[in-house]
Structure 1
Amino acid sequence: MSILKDYAAYAEHSGSKLKPLTKTMFYCNVFFRLSSVLYKVRLVPVARIFWLLNRILFSIDIDPRARLRGGMVILHGAGVVIGRFVTAEGNFKIYQGATLGGNNGKKRTVNGQTFSQPYLQNNVTIGINAAVLGPVILENGSSVGANAVVTKDVPAGAVVVSNNVILAQKSAVEV
């Protein structure tokens, strides 16, 4: 169950098994997971209530149709936006003001899977006010720095430090 993955991710981040219960952003995850389940069982009006509660209480907009399968950790989450076609297969951390989504109608097929918004693999970090837009893949262990805008794939373990510029060891490489 995804909420258990969220709990485990928060516990790992905080270093305590009980601390997630004291984190307000964990309850944002709970509202998102409830909204998502209610949407899947076609109780859309009730799902929208939990979505709206997230918007009002936490200033976070996570569409209930987003497929966030791993553990999600939201840190200082005000202003976070996650679109309806975003997919996350593993754990990820996202900081305040970050946006995942937007595609202007672009679609992409990789290994028989079609997607139109970001696809996150495992252990991805999205920094403060970063924007990851369109059908891009953030591979295992990649990070997006503060204020970066990503419109192209990010390889495993890479760090994006500005608009599609990847910091590769000690030099910057344009992708």
Structure 2
Amino acid sequence: MRNFLHAVRKDVRAYLRLDPATSNVFQLIFFNASFHGLLLYRISHLFYEWKLYPLAYIFYYLKRVLFSMDIHPAAKIEPGVVIDHGIGVVIGSTASVGSNTVIYQGVTLGAKKICTGKRHPDIGRNVLIGAGAKILGPIKVGDNSVIGANAVVLQDVPPNSLAVGVPARILRRDSRDAEFSRQYPHGEVEDRVEGVCET
């Protein structure tokens, strides 16, 4: 229970820091549907760890119906993750997501084929995953990386990389780009990914 409360507190701080549309805690707690979906995942994951599987799947089902977010209770999401908008996000049962990661709508962390065992990706820390991106299979996305919108990632992405396209290719490996993820000022992300945002 202590770990659950710690995770929720870090999630709140991450949303306030990384989501420009969230201006205060009141707005986050009462009106942010993606935060509510993440909170229901935290509850279902807690019951899953306690082996109370019926309760875990009840909250899992509620999250899918209410917020259109399909995050399996067995998935491992570190504290301090932001799911922005949330609709259409799918995270498989053997996936993991590191802290300070931002996931936009329509992202899939899924499998490439039907099999047992490890079949979903591991996402590092300080990663930005653009809207509609598909990261498939038991691959790794390194820390401080950016996955472009609608990219289809089928192989490992090294740390400090930018991956775009179908299938995704690595456009940049520059350790200086990791600087944005240490402080992670949201407004500077578009400067790191040319063409994503125009003023």
> TM-score surpassing 0.5?
yes
Cα–Cα, structure 1 residues 80 and 14, in superposed 2: closer, same or farther, change >3 Å?
closer
Q: Determine whether 1:126 maps to 2:135.
A: no
Aligned equivalent of 1:20:
28
Matches within 5 A, 1:1-175: 1-14=6-19, 16-18=23-25, 19-21=27-29, 22-104=31-113, 115-162=118-165, 163-168=167-172
Per the TM alignment, residue 91 of structure 1 is displaced from its structure 2 partner at its CA by 2.1
**Alpha-carbon contact 2:81-2:98 (below 8 Å) kept:** no
Give unpaired runs (5+ residues) of structure 1.
108-113, 170-175
Range with greater deviation from structure 2 (7-16 or 152-161): 7-16
Per the TM alignment, residue 4 of structure 1 is displaced from its structure 2 partner at its CA by 1.8
Aligned equivalent of 1:111:
none
Give unpaired runs (5+ residues) of structure 2.
1-5, 174-199
Query: Amino acid of the residue matched to residue 167 of structure 1?
Result: L
Per the TM alignment, residue 23 of structure 1 is displaced from its structure 2 partner at its CA by 1.6
**Alpha-carbon contact 1:6-1:70 (below 8 Å) kept:** yes
Per the TM alignment, residue 128 of structure 1 is displaced from its structure 2 partner at its CA by 1.1
Q: Alignment partner of 1:38: what SS?
A: helix
Map Cα deviations across residues 67-87 of structure 1 (whole Å, 9 max, x no partner): 111322111111110000001
**Alpha-carbon contact 1:90-1:120 (below 8 Å) kept:** no
Query: Amino acid of the residue matched to residue 125 of structure 2?
Result: N
Per the TM alignment, residue 51 of structure 1 is displaced from its structure 2 partner at its CA by 0.6
CA distance in 1 between counterparts of 2:92 and 2:119 reads: 10
Write out the 4+ residue segments of structure 1 that deviate beyond 3 Å after TM superposition. 14-17
**Alpha-carbon contact 1:70-1:92 (below 8 Å) kept:** no
The structure with the greater share of residues assigned to strand is 1
TM-score by length of 1: 0.85
For these two proteins, the number of residue pairs brought into alignment is: 163
CA distance in 2 between counterparts of 1:79 and 1:134 reads: 18
Per the TM alignment, residue 17 of structure 1 is displaced from its structure 2 partner at its CA by 4.9
Query: Amino acid of the residue matched to residue 67 of structure 1?
Result: K
Query: Amino acid of the residue matched to residue 28 of structure 2?
Result: P
Per the TM alignment, residue 94 of structure 1 is displaced from its structure 2 partner at its CA by 0.9
RMSD across aligned C-alpha pairs, in angstroms?
A: 2.0
Q: Alignment partner of 1:31: what SS?
A: helix
Map Cα deviations across residues 132-160 of structure 1 (whole Å, 9 max, x no partner): 00111111111111111001111222111
Map Cα deviations across residues 37-91 of structure 1 (whole Å, 9 max, x no partner): 0111121111111111111111010000001113221111111100000012322
